[in-house]
Amino acid sequence: MKIVAAMSGGVDSSVAALKLVRAGHDVTGVFFRLVDPLGEGGSRCCSPRDREDAHRAAERLGIELDEECLSRRFFDEVFEASLSAYARGLTPNPCVICNRKIKFAELVHVADELGADRVATGHFARVERSGDGTAHLLRAADRSKDQSYFLHRIGQDVLSRTLFPVGGMSKEEVRELARAAGLAQAEKAESQELCFVPEGTSYADLVESWVPDLIRPGAIVDRDGRRRGEHGGIHRFTIGQRRGLGISSDAPLYVVELDSETATVVVGGPDDLLRTRIRAYDLTWVAGEPPSDVFTCTVQVRSRHRGTPAEVRVQGGTADIELAEPVRAPAPGQAAVLYNGDEVLGGGWIAGPHR
């Protein structure tokens, strides 16, 4: 089978390609350059070292490695869009957007140009196909490394052609296989930060550099509306934040709401962060449609959230989600991803709290 494999220069994608080669497939690697507008070597991905590592891995495996520059699309659709969302008081998830709009879309495009049957990445997730050809997205075998949350917006047209060769492995098994194969990436560290945020800075610094016109100072108020202080922009706050508020209090205070219309930061106690209902919008479904208009599932409101049982009521492109137990600090702009056991049903963006 002819397969195009995304190779980032990291150990996971290198081992994914290795497994495909050892299985006898005709594999072509592709390295995506995403962040050139931010300066050479300034980001946590697609750096000159990553490029070199990807080429070394391809050479070790005896496969061709193509390069694709997607920096303009990444800048418009992910980087600038994410910074604008931060400036509006949202907590966006750039990885979810990038996977759907950039990485997987381009991977399939390259595969079509090369006449390839499948595409593959080093994501920790699994795909199973039913008898009717429907592709089902599942959590990785290693729950601690599971990345299915970030893939929930990948549709059937792409998922049906996608392979995740390391999805059934643990991270240590991946590294052991890389060591045994003599891949230099075997001990390479992985970054948990936003890929486009340069070392030594933050997303808030980028907002101030790239979209300063969207920044508005405002008031910090408590739940009763009493003014507690002032701030220079809601982009420097996130729901659940405790440190760096710039105000004093006898009891711990947290950011519980961000009002973009008035540029107001609302603070409260830990109980004010708890939510039993959320609304999600711009829904997508892995199978193309929801299981039904009303169903029960597990909802994950951030990538490391363990998930909470819930009842979901779908109305068009939105869903009202009733949580079986309170969830702490679901942040508008983050994804609410719906699971049936290990299977991803779909998800949408969190719109805000509903008490």
Identify the residue with better confidence: 199 or 332. 332
Active site (annotated) includes residue 297: no
pLDDT in tens, 201-212: 888 999 999 999
- 208 vs 36 pLDDT, higher one: 208
> What's the average model confidence in pLDDT over 47-60?
92
Does residue 108 have a pLDDT over 80? yes
- Interatomic CA distance for residues 295 and 173, integer angstroms: 37
- The per-residue pLDDT for range 280-313, each reduced to its tens digit, is 999 999 999 999 999 999 999 999 899 999 999 9
3-state DSSP call for residue 79? helix
pTM: 0.92
The predicted-structure confidence for 162-171, as pLDDT tens digits, reads as follows 999 999 999 9
Q: What length does the chain have?
A: 355
b/e map 189-224, b = 16+ CB within 10 Å: eeeeebbbbbeeeebbebbbebbeebbbebbbbbee
Residue 335 has pLDDT above 60, yes or no: yes
pLDDT tens across 224-277, in order? 999 999 999 999 999 999 998 988 888 899 999 999 999 999 999 999 999 999
131: confidence class by pLDDT, cuts 50, 70, 90: confident
d(CA 176, CA 112): 33
Q: What is the pLDDT of residue 191?
A: 67
Give all domains of the chain, ordered by start, each with its CATH number.
2-187 (3.40.50.620), 216-268 (2.30.30.280), 273-353 (2.40.30.10)
Is residue 317 predicted with pLDDT exceeding 50?
A: yes
pLDDT of residue 125: 98
Using N-to-C axis directions, what is the helix angle for 11-22 and 171-180, rounded to 10°? 60
**Mean pLDDT along residues 77-103:** 94
Confidence of residue 46 (pLDDT cuts 50, 70, 90): low
Task: Flag whether pLDDT at 17 surpasses 60.
Answer: yes
Active-site residue identified among 45, 69, 95, 195: 195
- Write out the two tokens for 67: 């390069």
Phi first, then psi: give them for residue 284, nearest 5 degrees.
-130, 150
> Rounded mean pLDDT of 115-139?
95
Q: What is the pLDDT of residue 44?
A: 57
195 assigned to active site: yes
* pLDDT, the chain, mean: 92
Q: Which of 45, 46, 95, 98 is catalytic?
A: 98
